[in-house]
Every structure is written in C-alpha cells, then in structure tokens.
Amino acid sequence: MGKRVISPGGTVEGVIELPGDKSISHRYAILAALAEGTSEISNYASAADCRSTLECLRGLGIGIESKEGRVRVAGKGLDGLREPQRALDAENSGSTMRMLAGVLAGQRFTSTITGDDSLRKRPMRRVIEPLRQMGAEIRSHEGDRAPLEIRGGGLRAIDYTPPTPSAQVKSAVLFAGLYAHGVTTVREGVNTRDHTEVALREFGAVMDGGRGAIRIHPRPKLTARQLVVPSDLSTAVFFIGATLVLPGSSLMLHNVGLNPTRARVLDFFNSIGAPVRVATVQMRNGELVGDVSVRHAALEGGTISGSQVAEMIDELPLLAALGPFTEKGIEIHDAQELRVKESDRIAALAEGLRQMGARVEEFPDGLRVEGRSAGKLRGAKVDPRGDHRIAMALSVAALGAEGDTTIRDAECVGVSFPEFYSTLDKLRGSEKK
Ligand code: S3P
C-alpha cells in the first residue's frame, strides 16, 4: 500500500461492527494454549500483533487453526509447551513479548523472544526485573532490550508493585504466578486494564484480592473455553473521531468492549461535548459489551493527566489529533509513557500535526494542541514513524484539513487494524472524494 492520500470532507455515516479487541485477543490465545482442551475464539482481532501471538504459540508447539476471525487453539495444559526450535518473533507487539515473557519464565526450557526494530528498542527491564525476582534467568541485549533469552522454572511467588503502571507487566507477573511456589501478588496504585484477571478467572484460575492488589494461586487447572472477543474500543475511537471532525456525521458501533478499565475515554468524550452514548450493555465472558453511538457536535476541548493517562493510554494520539477541532484545545500531561510506545508518540504527533499547520507545544510528559483559534489545518505530507495509532490519528485530522494529506507508510495501520482505510472509505460512501 505504501502511502495513502486522504482527501478531506464528506460525512461519516453508518452502522459497523469492528474486529475483536487486540488486548483481549492476545490473552485469550495465550490462556487457551495453557488450558486443557480445544478453545474456540470468535471475533479474534485481525491485528498483525495478534497474529504474532498465534505464531509464537505455534513456535511453542501449540496447534492453532485460524480463519476469518475464528481461532481454534488446541491447549496442552500448563506443562504442555515445547522448547521452540528457533527464536520466537513478536514482531511489533509489545504485549506479545512482555506477556509471553511471563509464560516463558514458568517453563523449564530455554527460549528466545525477539521483535522488529521498533520492539527491540523498547524497554524490557520492566518485565525482566520481576521475573528475575521470581527466579527466571533472563539474558537481554544491551540496555535491557530484546532479544530476551529466558530460562525458567522453579519460580517463587513475589509481591510486586510495578514502578510504572502497566497492564503488560502486571500480566507477565500473573502468568508467571501460574507456575510459582506460593501465592503471587501484583499491586497497582493506578488501575490498568484488567483483561488478564478477567480472562484468568474465565479459564478457571484461582484469584483473590481485587483492584489494587491482585493475588493468583499457582497451578490451577485451566479449562478450554468458547469465547467471543468484543470489538476493539481503541480502534473504535478513530471512527468516533472521524464522526466528530466531519459535520453532519453520525455512527453506530455494535458490540464494542466497554470494560470499565478501558471505557474512560467515553466519559472524556462526553466531558468535551461529544455526544457519545452507550446502549444494550451485556456481559460476555466476564467482559462488558455494548453499542456505542455518536454524532457530530462542537467540541470544547480539555486536559488529560494523572490516572486518566493509564486509563486512556492508547486513545491519547486520537484525542491529541482532535485538538485543532476543539474550542480550547487538548492538553496532555503525565504521559511520558507515550515516548516508549511503538514510536515516541509525543514527538510523532507534535511533528505530524505541526506539518498540518497546528500549533503544538511539546512537554517532556505530553503536549498541548491549540484549538480552532490557531486556524484550520492544511493538508501535508506526514510520517507516522511506522506507528499504527499515529497513522490513524493523523488520518482523522486530515479529514478536517484543507487539501489532501499524504500519510507515509500507511500500511502500518495493520498492526492493530488492517481494514482501517477500507472501513473509513465505506463509511464515507461516495463522498470520499
Ligand atoms: C496493553 C497495555 C498497554 C497498552 C498496549 C496494550 C495490554 O501497554 O498501551 O497497547 O494489552 O496490556 P502498557 O502495559 O505498556 O501500558
């Protein structure tokens, strides 16, 4: 695909159901591999990241059939993984590498997990540290980067508080806790997404404690399940964003994941004047799911900081890109974690939005994107730095610019949502030109 040209204008209209949530898909696949019996997962994410997880599990000897969002995983139980023949490749997926590191720490064989150029630059000390405390031997590349060589087994339970709130780190320790002697505890001051805890319970793990301190008992019998993955809210926000940028637009999204540890962004939308409504909420496999509707409205703008950051971490690029379409602009603080995502998202957003004429101030821990008074955006050539969420955020901003915008290496959207551009075209109907 290479570059992608976005012409502005038109409206977004329609009813859609997006593919499954990326975070939940990873967890279901991993736990299905560790369970006894064959699990069936429907609406599995079409994200390249989630394919990477399936490939790594295959490398560990798990039989997996995958077709059009239906995945069958022939689980082999907690002790059924096999020493891989070659390095496992997580490609661009931090979730795959960090969460699987926890599982590999529990295995009595040596394995190596690596990734693409972006992932090999991302910090891995955050998982190495607690897994070493549990007794795993881990060798890494300079500066605690991947590839990671992990020799596991004989783990002891720990009581751990990640220094930086991270659901991936929490999950790695909980997965390792399945194999530890004793009860493992993970504490968190700021609640991060709890899909791992929900899925562990669903597969039969024994957990107690709750928000703030999660305790997992070792060596449960995990049992195969039939699961349906809710649609990905973190992808849905880009279409909600498109609806808010284009006057006259309205959109309904079916069966979106509304787990309270993820859905804070919907409150934020409402707080800045975006009429986002939720209906027909139900519980599926322990996860809340519902329909989300939105229509175009004038946006006020606002500030995001503190605990909101961890709760909306993946939505921040889209929210920043909405800044020029708001009255007061969007300001983000306490979000230094954005600098160690698939790209330095603060720098990538500041650069891309400035190229489109936005007035942006960059801080070490965030940015401020001026509102409407700074003038209308204009089309430009922008570089998402290989980062899917930056590409989608800049594409949404481009819809409201004057003139065409060219997104370089736009195929990077495939990391979370390969059908992003075709879905956007469909929702814009014949007006897309
Ligand atoms: C994720 C957790 C978050 C998030 C990432 C997915 C997960 O990362 O940004 O896209 O599935 O657990 P951190 O755990 O690094 O905050």
- Extract the tokens encoding 406: 């060219």
Mean pLDDT of 163-175: 97
Using the predicted structure, report yes or no on whether residue 431 has a pLDDT greater than 80: no
What's the CATH number where 183 sits?
3.65.10.10
| Last residue of one domain, picked from the residues 228, 251, 284 | 228
> Are 293 and 189 in the same domain?
no
Q: Can you tell me which atom of ligand 1 is nearest the CA of 341?
A: 9
Number of domains in the chain: 2
State the number of CA atoms in the 13 A half-sphere of 243 facing the CB.
Answer: 25
270 Cβ contact partners less than 8 Å away, ≥ 6 residues apart: 276
Residues 33 and 55 in one domain: yes
Flag whether pLDDT at 166 surpasses 70: yes
- Which of 228, 258, 279 marks a domain boundary? 228
DSSP code for 313? G
Helices 264-271 and 233-245: crossing angle, nearest 10°?
10
Distance CA 424, CA 7 (A): 12
pLDDT at residue 302, rounded to an integer: 98
What tokens appear for 320 in the block?
A: 């920043």
Asked if 251 and 386 sit in the same domain, the reply is yes
Ligand 1 atom with the smallest distance to the CA of 23 is: 11
- Catalytic residue chosen out of the listed positions 89, 291, 314, 383: 314
Nearest by Cα to 397 from 237, 242, 270: 242
What would the mean pLDDT of 9-28 be, rounded to a whole number? 98
Which one-letter DSSP state was computed for residue 222? -
* DSSP code, position 221: -
pLDDT attached to residue 429: 87
Considering the domain architecture, whether residues 261 and 394 belong to the same structural domain is answered as yes
Closest-CA residue to 225 (of 28, 26, 24, 23): 28
**pLDDT at position 1, please?**
59
In a domain, residue 433? The reply is no
Distance CA 185, CA 173 (A): 8
Centroid of ligand 1 to alpha carbon of 10 (angstroms): 34
Query: Which residue, judged by its Cα, is nearest atom 4 of ligand 1?
Result: 314
Instruction: For residue 93, give its domain range.
Output: 22-228
pLDDT for 75: 98
Instruction: Please give the average per-residue pLDDT across 203-226, as a whole number.
Output: 95
* 46 occurs within a structural domain: yes
- Kindly list the protein residues whose Cβ atom lies closer than 6 A to any atom of ligand 1: 23, 95, 166-168, 171, 193, 313-314
Distance 394 CA to ligand 1 centre (A): 21
314 is catalytic: yes
Ligand 1 atom nearest residue 165's Cα = 16
pLDDT tens sequence across 99-114: 999 999 999 999 999 9
Which ranges in 45-141 belong to alpha helices (H)?
48-59, 94-104, 125-133
**Is 359 among the domain residues?**
yes
Strands 366-369 and 13-16: unpaired
Q: Evaluate if residue 433 carries a pLDDT over 50.
A: no
What does the mean pLDDT of the chain come to?
Answer: 97
Q: Give the list of residues 6+ apart from residue 410 with CB closer than 8 angstroms, or none.
A: 1, 2, 3, 4, 384, 391, 395, 421
Nearest to 389 by CA among 320, 297, 324, 333: 320
Residue nearest to atom 10 of ligand 1 (CA): 314
Residue 318 CA to residue 234 CA, distance in Å, equals 9
Cα separation of 392 and 303, whole Å? 21
pLDDT, tens digit, 9 for 90 and up, residues 326-339: 999 999 999 999 99
Pair 197, 146 in one domain: yes
Quote the distance between the C-alpha of residue 115 and its chain's center. 17
Residue 89 lies in a domain: yes
If asked whether residues 211 and 348 sit together in one domain, one would say: no
Please report, as a single letter, which amino acid is at residue 356. M
Q: Which atom of ligand 1 is nearest to the CA of 314?
A: 9
Ligand 1: residue of 127, 166, 198 to mutate (most ligand atoms within 8 A of CB) is 166
Mean pLDDT score, 143-154: 96
Tokens at residue 256, please?
Answer: 């979106």
Q: Examine residue 220 and say whether the peptide bond preceding it is cis (omega within 30 degrees of 0).
A: no
**DSSP H helical segments within 83-194, as ranges?**
94-104, 125-133, 167-177
Do 398 and 271 share a structural domain?
yes
State the Cα–Cα distance between residues 332 and 13, nearest whole angstrom: 30
Q: What percent of the chain has pLDDT over 90?
A: 98
Predicted pLDDT of residue 432: 42
Q: Are 346 and 366 in contact (CB under 8 A)?
A: yes
Q: What is the rounded distance in angstroms from the CA atom of residue 272 to the CA atom of residue 301?
A: 5
pLDDT tens-place string over residues 273-325: 999 999 999 999 999 999 999 999 999 999 999 999 999 999 999 999 999 99
C-alpha distances in Å from residue 222, one per residue of 37, 228, 353: 9, 18, 47
Q: Are 56 and 198 found together in one domain?
A: yes
Tell me the CA–centroid distance for residue 47 and ligand 1, in Å: 14
377 and 253 inside one domain = yes
Residue 256 CA, ligand 1 centroid: distance in Å:
18
As given in the structure block, the two tokens for residue 399 are 């819809």
Condensed to tens digits (0 to 9), the pLDDT of residues 67-102 reads 999 999 999 999 999 999 999 999 999 999 999 999
Residue 273 inside a domain? The answer is yes
pLDDT at res. 211? 75
Taking the CA of residue 168 as reference, the ligand 1 atom at the shortest distance is: 14
How many angstroms is it from 175 CA to the middle of ligand 1?
A: 15
Helix (H) or strand (E) holding 388: helix 388-399
Indicate whether 236 and 223 sit together in one domain.
Answer: no
CA–centroid distance, 99 to ligand 1, in Å, is: 10
Ligand 1 pocket check: which of 23, 168, 229 to mutate, most ligand atoms within 8 Å of Cβ?
Answer: 168
Alpha helices in 207-344 (DSSP H): 233-245, 264-271, 307-311, 316-321
